[in-house]
């Protein structure tokens, strides 16, 4: 069972490590967090590769890490005595949101900034490998209906579609592309690692839910000793914390049958997260 919520001493706060799972309003939350730290205290990388290649000097004096990092990376920085934070989302809605987002991307403009940074750091080959897989995912999603997107055996699609929250919270190294090139191998590894994700969930001091964003951020602020004025004026998008329908009426039955293939492992993780989150709400209400 996760430890009961308690308020940390604001004068002795540990560095915050925000595991930003895609499509959980993390971009807006990153801005919210950055406002509470000096620029020099914020690690400037934003994805797994940035953190994987960071030197000791890059990490020195940093008190906020926020981006598409993983629990495996947080654990590797144990000497920094980090406080972990993440937001989870109902899995079927996350899958649909990811599909809609991928379909909106232009591969060339989306990756131009990251490519320039990779070239400057001598990591062009690694970037090209990741970009190649991502390009395949973008193109495939743009050409497929949601039903066919769920049915696809493309490893590139599977990387961002299948059990994404478990992948980011277990101890698999997502920068190692070999294990996810084959869908069957990837699913086998994720299934074997699901218990690691559940164990790591209990290490997350600041655990929130997309569907309860206001309460999630209020809990974070209370525990960190920050003033909380609500999220209304800070929202970058009007649908924060709101789930759209996962499927159209005409495809509902076939999609319902396909969704468990991509969400069944995440479903268990999300139920556990919801239980932990709900158990800590009384602590927040007593001090609100």
* Model pLDDT for residues 149-197, shown as the tens digit of each residue: 999 888 778 878 889 999 899 987 765 666 566 667 777 888 888 999 9
In percent, the amount of the chain with pLDDT more than 70 equals 72
Q: What is the pLDDT of residue 232?
A: 53
pLDDT at 286: 62
pLDDT, tens digit, 9 for 90 and up, residues 76-134? 999 999 999 999 999 999 999 999 888 887 766 555 444 454 444 444 444 454 555 56
Instruction: Tell whether the model's pLDDT for residue 263 goes beyond 80.
Output: yes
CA–CA distance, 192 with 247 (Å, rounded to integer): 30
Over the chain, what is the mean pLDDT? 79
Q: Once rounded to an integer, what is the mean pLDDT over residues 11-21?
A: 86
Whole-structure pTM value: 0.84
Using alpha carbons, list the distances in angstroms from residue 285 to 6, 46, 71: 12, 33, 29
- Asked if residue 1 is part of any domain, the answer here is no
- Higher per-residue pLDDT: 61 or 247: 61
CB 263 within 8 A of CB 163: yes
Find the CATH number of the domain harbouring 240. 3.40.50.300
Q: Could you tell me if residue 4 is inside a domain? A: no
Q: How many other C-beta atoms are found inside a 10 Å radius of the C-beta of residue 229?
A: 9
8 Å CB contact between 54 and 46: no
Number of domains in the chain: 1
If you average pLDDT over residues 31-39, what whole number do you get?
92
Domain that holds residue 52: 10-283
Tell me whether residue 79 is in a domain: yes
Residue 2 within a domain: no
Q: Return the pLDDT at 131.
A: 56
The whole-number pLDDT of residue 246 equals 60
Q: Which residues contact 244 (CB under 8 A, 6 or more apart)?
A: 93, 96, 97
DSSP one-letter code for 182: S
Q: Is residue 173 part of a domain?
A: yes
In a domain, 47, yes or no: yes
Higher per-residue confidence, 116 vs 277: 277
Contacts of 7 by beta carbon, 8 Å cutoff, 6+ apart: 222, 223, 225, 287
Give the Cα separation of 255 and 260 in Å (integer): 9
Separation of alpha carbons 143 and 122, rounded Å: 33
């Amino acid at each position: 069972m996760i430890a009961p919520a308690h308020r940390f001493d604001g004068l002795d706060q540990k560095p915050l490590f925000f595991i930003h799972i895609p499509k959980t309003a993390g971009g807006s939350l990153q801005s919210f967090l950055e406002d509470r730290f000096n620029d020099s205290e914020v690690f400037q990388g934003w994805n797994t590769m940035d953190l994987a290649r960071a030197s000791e000097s890059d990490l020195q004096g940093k008190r906020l890490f926020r981006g598409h990092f993983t629990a495996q990376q947080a654990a590797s920085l144990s000497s920094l005595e980090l406080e972990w934070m993440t937001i989870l989302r109902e899995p079927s809605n996350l899958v649909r949101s990811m599909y809609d987002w991928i379909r909106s991307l232009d591969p060339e403009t989306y990756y131009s900034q990251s490519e320039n940074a990779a070239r400057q750091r001598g990591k062009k080959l690694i970037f090209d490998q990741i970009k190649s897989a991502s390009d395949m995912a973008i193109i495939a999603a743009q050409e497929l209906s949601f039903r066919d997107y769920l049915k696809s055996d493309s490893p590139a699609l599977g990387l961002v579609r299948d059990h994404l929250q478990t992948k980011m919270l277990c101890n698999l190294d997502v920068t190692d592309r070999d294990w996810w090139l084959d869908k069957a191998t990837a699913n086998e590894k994720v299934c074997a690692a699901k218990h690691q994700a559940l164990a790591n969930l209990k290490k997350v001091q600041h655990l929130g839910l997309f569907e309860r964003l206001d309460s999630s951020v209020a809990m974070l602020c209370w525990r960190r000793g920050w003033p909380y004025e609500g999220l209304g004026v800070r929202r970058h998008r009007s649908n924060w914390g709101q789930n759209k329908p996962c499927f159209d009426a005409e495809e509902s039955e076939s999609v319902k049958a396909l969704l468990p293939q991509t969400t069944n492992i995440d479903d268990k993780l999300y139920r556990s997260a919801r239980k932990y989150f709900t158990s800590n709400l009384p602590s927040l209400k007593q001090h609100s």
